[in-house]
Structure 1
Amino acid sequence: MAGGPSGILETLKTNNLFEKEVLLKRNEFLKVAGTIDTNIYFIEEGSLRVYISQTQEEQIIRFGYQNDLIVSLDSFLTEQPSDFYIQAIKKTSVKVISKRTFFEFITENEDNLKLWNAILENLVLQQMEREKDLLIASVNERYSRVLKRSPRLFQEIPHKYIANYLRMTPETLSRLKKS
């Protein structure tokens, strides 16, 4: 999750909800499939990718970089194992908020509950945009939509990962970038 979240992130920092910091080396996993993860992560530095692995093929569904929140939302909400992996693309530093600490915070007052609603709304809207991207047949349009929505992505994330996210070959992405 990213974005209008600057106010969200400021609130989390101000209230000192972060319990620890985790340093990840390039390609190190923050979370692996089949595990339960009920933490919320704030990316201080670096970048992460969220993906699912099916029959030895990875399908990237999300990226996170500096000042983004990332969460394995299915596992966070259900406290059940998730099929998702969260992996560092480069050296990454994340601050951690546990579900328990976060829910104690959001139940303290109505403003904090509004913050949770804003986080959920943001996540739902991001997911809807992602689903639209996947339904668009034209690689040109998929590329244009993501470039318009997340220009920073192209500075932060290696092209091979962006190509996977856009469901195209790295060569197609390279051709689109040149045109």
Structure 2
Amino acid sequence: MDALKFLLEELENQWEEEITIKRGDFLVRKHTINTNLYLVLEGSLRVFIEDEDQDHTIRFGYKNSIITALDCFLTNKPSLFYIQSLKKCKLKVISKQKYMSLIKADVKCQNTWNMMLESFVYQQIEREIDLITFSPQKRFQRVFKRSPQVFQEIPHKYIASYLRMAPETLSRILKNLD
């Protein structure tokens, strides 16, 4: 059984509430503290940072994925990230306190959580390598191979941001696939 599936089964009756947010609403804003963990039931979200002139998409969340402002979740300090809905979203919510008490109460849950964190770190390493060493075409191919669902769930302008390319470049790459 994969780690996420196991963890979701363990959390089945532990979620504290279900919320709905409209397209464009923020789940988390930069400089705020939000240590909740969310399960996406419907819709899609993006995690991003901003500099003076543009946003930089870091990650996506869509159906059956867990999303949080991980920097804030781990440190209890204000987040450097925004999490914004790209489509209307339904989310289940659990507080960090409740989640961590559940994780700490069961060795199998602790091991699963550690596996998920390790997987996340590895994904970030892969992404960093992609951005530093590969051409836009190759970055597209690698992300498409790893996460084809992204291309069904997420608007192309945010995928372009994630891939660190202009939307026009992504359009050309997609056009050449046909």
**Partner of residue 11, structure 1:** 10
Please state if 1:27 is matched with 2:24: yes
Please state if 1:93 is matched with 2:96: no
In structure 1, the gaps of 5 or more residues are: none
Quote the offset at 1:178 in angstroms: 1.8
Please state if 1:36 is matched with 2:33: yes
| Greater alpha carbon shift after TM alignment, 85-94 vs 118-127 | 118-127
CA contact (8 A) 1:9 1:67 kept: no
CA RMSD of aligned residues (A): 1.3
Which segments of structure 1 move beyond 4 Å, counting only runs of 4 or more?
A: none
| Greater alpha carbon shift after TM alignment, 131-140 vs 41-50 | 131-140
**Partner of residue 63, structure 1:** 60
Quote the offset at 1:22 in angstroms: 1.5
Q: Report the Cα distance in structure 1 between the residues aligned to 2:129 and 2:3, rounded to whole angstroms.
A: 20
Aligned residues: 175
**TM-score (norm: length of structure 1):** 0.93
Letter in 1 for 2:148: P
Quote the offset at 1:125 in angstroms: 1.8
| Greater alpha carbon shift after TM alignment, 103-112 vs 27-36 | 103-112
**Partner of residue 117, structure 2:** 120
Quote the offset at 1:150 in angstroms: 0.6
**TM-score (norm: length of structure 2):** 0.93
Q: Report the Cα distance in structure 2 between the residues aligned to 1:166 and 1:116, rounded to whole angstroms.
A: 27
Please state if 1:165 is matched with 2:162: yes
CA contact (8 A) 1:8 1:119 kept: no
In structure 2, the gaps of 5 or more residues are: none
CA contact (8 A) 1:46 1:93 kept: yes
Q: Report the Cα distance in structure 2 between the residues aligned to 1:31 and 1:46, rounded to whole angstroms.
A: 16
